[in-house]
Amino acid sequence: MLSCENVSFRYTRSGNDVLRGLSLELEQGQIGIVLGKNGSGKTTLFKNILGIHDPKGGKIRLDGKNLQKISRRERAQRIAYVPQDIRFGDLSVFDSVLLGRISHFGLQPSREDYIAVEKILMDMGLESFAQRSVEALSGGERQKIAIARAMAQEPQLMVFDEPTGNLDIANEQLIIQEAKKLAKEKNISILSSLHDLNQALYFGDKFFFLKDGVVKYAGGSEIVNEEVIRDVFDIDVRIVEIDGQKVILGGYNK
Ligand code: ADP
């Protein structure tokens, strides 16, 4: 389980707190979606979880272990990060994804490592890209490779910052479906931000709405309603149910 307890953070001594006693809990294998306006602190929260920033107060634990107290290597084994825009250097697609397994192999990748990478490339429809240089790919294609690499890592927790931002609709769906399948098959937790509320509803098991530096609303899809969305995003929406799935319509600024 991932737990953030009363986490606070600010960028500069004189600046305001961006996180002000934020708490959340995500069970192993659950997909949690962090929702909030631009600038509400989603990336800041992720960077605190990843150890890129250290919280000023509070605790972040994975399986009860305080993440501030474990080594960088252990943290890298347990948590994979897919940032908004990733740079790989001049590597082939296959090698870039294989690098995700570096914490699994010692000096040399084994046959299992190669097989795992081949399977992920196949599942994500990337096999024809395997020998191409990542540098020569579009932003959206690179995003897919970044997600493939995070999957190859088989971490306990994957953190996605707007994973579908650069992708077209078909690739968005593919990524979300693959990530969801993997989370369930391998019991990996995912914490992700997503702009699109309908995608969020389809992808997530649990929703965390950020406002004023805290998680103001948390829970399953039952907590996603018109009032919560109005309070957090300042927009008016209508929610209907189609085939048992909530669908959000509209989204006009008040
Ligand atoms: P989100 O991901 O929800 O858009 P961020 O976590 O990126 O929000 O930003 C939260 C707040 O922190 C914003 O007000 C932003 O301007 C500020 N901020 C983000 N990064 C920095 C930084 N490196 N230095 C100072 N302030 C920052």
- The ranges assigned to domains in the chain are 2-84+156-223
Percentage of residues in the chain having pLDDT higher than 90? 61
* Ligand 1 within 6 A of CB of 16: no
Q: Name residue 241's beta-bridge partners.
A: 246
The pLDDT of residue 115 is: 94
Is 105 touching ligand 1 by the criterion CB < 6 Å? Answer: no
Question: Rounded distance, CA 93 to CA 125, Å?
Answer: 12
| Ligand 1 nearest-atom number relative to CA 210 | 3
Mean pLDDT, the chain, whole residue set: 90
Nearest CA, atom 7, ligand 1: 43
**Encoded amino acid at 230, one letter:** R
Spatial neighbors of 205 by CB under 8 A, at least 6 apart, are: 30, 31, 32, 220
Grade residue 125 by pLDDT with cuts at 50, 70 and 90.
confident
Q: With 70 as the cut, is the pLDDT of residue 254 above it?
A: no
**The CATH number, out of the four listed (3.30.70.2190, 3.30.465.10, 3.40.50.300, 1.10.620.20), of the domain defined by the range 2-84+156-223:** 3.40.50.300
Using 50, 70 and 90 to split pLDDT, how confident is the model at 131? very high
> Stretch 232-247: mean pLDDT, rounded?
91
Classify 54 in phi/psi space as left (phi over 0), alpha (psi -120 to 50) or beta: beta
CA atoms within 13 A on the CB side of 122: 6
Q: Which residue has the tokens 């082939």?
A: 92
Best residue for ligand 1 mutational test, from 8, 11, 34, 159 (most atoms within 8 Å of Cβ) = 11
| Whether the CB of 41 sits within 6 Å of ligand 1 | yes
Q: What is the pLDDT of residue 31?
A: 96
CA distance linking residue 20 with residue 137, whole number of Å: 39
Segment (H or E) for 251: strand 245-253
**What is the C-alpha to C-alpha distance for residues 130 and 122, in angstroms, rounded to an integer?**
10
With vertex at residue 207, the alpha carbon angle to CA 162 and CA 238, rounded to the nearest 5 degrees, is: 90
**pLDDT band at 253; cut points 50, 70, 90:** low
How does pLDDT run across 76-107, given as a tens digit for each residue?
Answer: 889 999 887 777 788 999 999 999 988 777 78
Atom number, ligand 1, closest to the C-alpha of residue 193: 2
* pLDDT for position 84: 75
The closest of 35, 48, 47, 53 to 6, measured between CA atoms, is 48
Confidence band for 114, pLDDT divided at 50, 70 and 90: very high
> Which amino acid residue places its CA nearest to atom 22 of ligand 1?
11
Query: What percent of the chain clears pLDDT 70, i.e. is strictly above it?
Result: 98
Gap from CA of 44 to ligand 1 centroid (Å): 6
pTM above 0.85, yes or no: yes
Over residues 187-193, mean pLDDT: 94
Residues in the chain: 254
190 C-beta closer than 6 A to ligand 1: no
Q: Does 252 score more than 70 pLDDT? A: no
Cβ(39) – ligand 1 distance below 6 Å: yes
Ligand 1 midpoint to CA 83 (Å): 14
Q: Going by CA atoms, what residue is nearest to atom 11 of ligand 1?
A: 39
Q: What is the mean pLDDT of residues 137-157?
A: 87
